[in-house]
A and B are shown apart, each in its own frame.
Chain A
Amino acid sequence: MPSGELAVLEWAGYEIPEMWADFGKDYPDANVMFNFGASDPDIYGKVLAGSSEDIIHLYTPFLNFYVEEGLIEPLDVSRLKNWDKVPQGFKDACTIDGEVYCVPWDWGYSSILYRTDKIPEGVDSWAALFDSKYAGHISMWDDGPSAVSVGSYIKGYDEQNLTDDQLEEIKQMWIDQRDKNLFYWVDEPALEEAISSGDIWAAYGWNGAFYRLLQAGVPVAYADPTEGRNSWIGQYAISSKSDNYDLALAFLDEKLGQETATHLLVDYAYGHPVPEYFSVVEDPLLIQALSLDDPGILERTNFTVPISSADRDRFTEMWAQVKAAP
């Protein structure tokens, strides 16, 4: 039985044993250490600067960078016993040029989170974030690529192939939106507080916030827009610097295990890629928050696509210009 040490470059909160429960059970002799990064670019920066962890927890927007710079290894999926349980959409999010580079794990939606009492007519489109009816009560996430995604959904553009003119249009949309937007949220507690207090009526939000607001008794709903929700996916990859490929691969495999899934779903209200485990969720609010009662939801969802580093630079510059515009 393989033993040894693994180092994981992780986000705060995922180091607790429950989050890798299956691995802990099946490989009791292995020693897992955690180092932390605060955000995608922070983690990326650390790895780029030579940080030597075996496993990296990244998110789809950055996958391309790691692959381009040769920072992660392709995975031998034939050795992953849980791989076939993963739906195709999730597999695609980890595949670049035919090679699989990561295992999907935590995921959730991004959609419009809104107050049902302030917006009784409901929300059915991303355009709600630009609606003058809600001026001063809208909040967008402070993230350029997401802003580009939303703009592309509304305009019907292909995110991965935006021309300069199309990007310019999206930029202007967001510049004009600033007067209706109250603030760009950076972290969920601030967003939840603002929705709870009624300052914000409609926001770009994740289902974790939805769940917590439901639990707090705030009248909110989570939109199912005609353009489709967005979904973000967290992924685990193996560093090209790792000497411990086999053990690391096992760790990734076990992330898809049932006990881990249960904790992720129930404790953190985030999705897990393996649908057959969803039945463990019993809390009706949680079912609502994860849209587990809506079987077709995944087909209607736009998964966050990997973008090239050139595009990421373009999108970031666009967002900087939106913020800097007079």
Chain B
Amino acid sequence: MQDRRSPFFATYYLIILFVLYFPLGILFLFSINDGVIFAFPLKGLTLHWYQDMFGNTELLQAARSSLLVAVASSVAATALGTTAAIALLRFQFKGKTPFVALALVPLLVPYIILGAALLILFAGLQVERSLWTVMIAHTIVSLPYALLVIMARMVGFDKHLEEAAADLGSTYGYTLRRVILPLIAPAILAAWLVAFTVSFDEFILASFLIGRRPTLPVYLLSQMRFANRFPQVVAMTVVVMLASLSLVLLAQWLQRKGTVSTQVAPAGQIARLPGFEDISFQVEGVGKSSE
């Protein structure tokens, strides 16, 4: 797009960035504060909270639980979204609109309601609450995003490639594996990333549906009761933040290193999804190669 350098917009961006990162800076300061109460002025610098954190098995366990749930639910949501998207966009059958509406309705349900409803369901079915029940809930709320991202990508594609494969005698399974999936791979990755993000820091559904093992956000809130453990939790947050920053920068670097754009449509002329120009953000954001 145009490359005008306007000081107003650049300044605006920097201000927003500053506002977004400032509280994170404060969190960092407290993770090295040699005191337990979270207030200024600082009492002295120390790294011992980080040491304590690595020795705190519960905290590490909670982080691990969050990771497990996030991976499981994001994989599930992506798989479900991909299969549904392929069915919706490449096959003909009745009832597509109701299905899409149903798949997207979770977007309209505040998490507290969904959490409560699943709580009632699991209690009624005598299913014990656990990380699995959290994973199930996270999949439900991630599915709409996954579906939209992948559908947006698929609409832009020329179906002729798939038809050509069929003409050349391949089974649908083969076409699926070797033609369709590789072409929509960036969208799958993007969908997975969105789903992972939704799940990892999610608090409400987790707090309603965990069993014995808390996820990280839930554990965090429970630790607020114990003042002497709280700084360790802050230290963990800083670690998570740095880890995700490195991951993302790594992803950016890898992408620049020359992943080929797998878009079929010419860059800059992304096919419009009638009535849905709004979605598909992650596709451009993550898979975009240089113009």
Binding site for B on A (CB under 8 A): 12-13, 35-36, 38, 49-51, 186-190, 192-193, 196-197, 212, 216
Contact = CB atoms under 8 A, between A and B. Distances in A.
Contact of B37 (A12, A51, A186, A196): A196
Count class of interface residues, chain B: 20 to 34
Nearest to A218: B37
A189 B37 contact: yes
Contacts of A190: 224
A197 B163 CA distance: 70
Nearest to A52: B128
A197 B222 contact: no
Interface in B75-130: 123, 126, 128-129
Contacts of B223: 12
B227 interface: yes
Contacts of B221: 38
Interface in B39-88: 39, 58
Interface of B: 35-39, 58, 123, 126, 128-129, 207, 212, 214, 218, 221-227, 230
Given A35-B212, A192-B37, A193-B37, A187 B123 contact: no
Per CB-CB distance, the 10 closest pairs between chain A and chain B, nearest first, are A187-B224, A189-B227, A35-B212, A187-B225, A38-B222, A193-B39, A197-B39, A193-B38, A49-B123, A196-B37
7 contacts: A12-B223, A36-B212, A36-B214, A38-B218, A51-B128, A189-B227, A216-B35
Given A12-B226, A13-B226, A189-B225, A196 B39 contact: yes
Nearest to A35: B212
A38 B225 CA distance: 10
Given A36-B212, A197-B39, 7 more contacts: A12-B58, A13-B226, A189-B225, A190-B224, A193-B38, A216-B35, A216-B37
A99 B226 CA distance: 34
B222 to A, nearest CB: 5
B123 A12 contact: no
Contacts of A188: 225, 227
Contacts of A13: 226
A35 B218 CA distance: 15
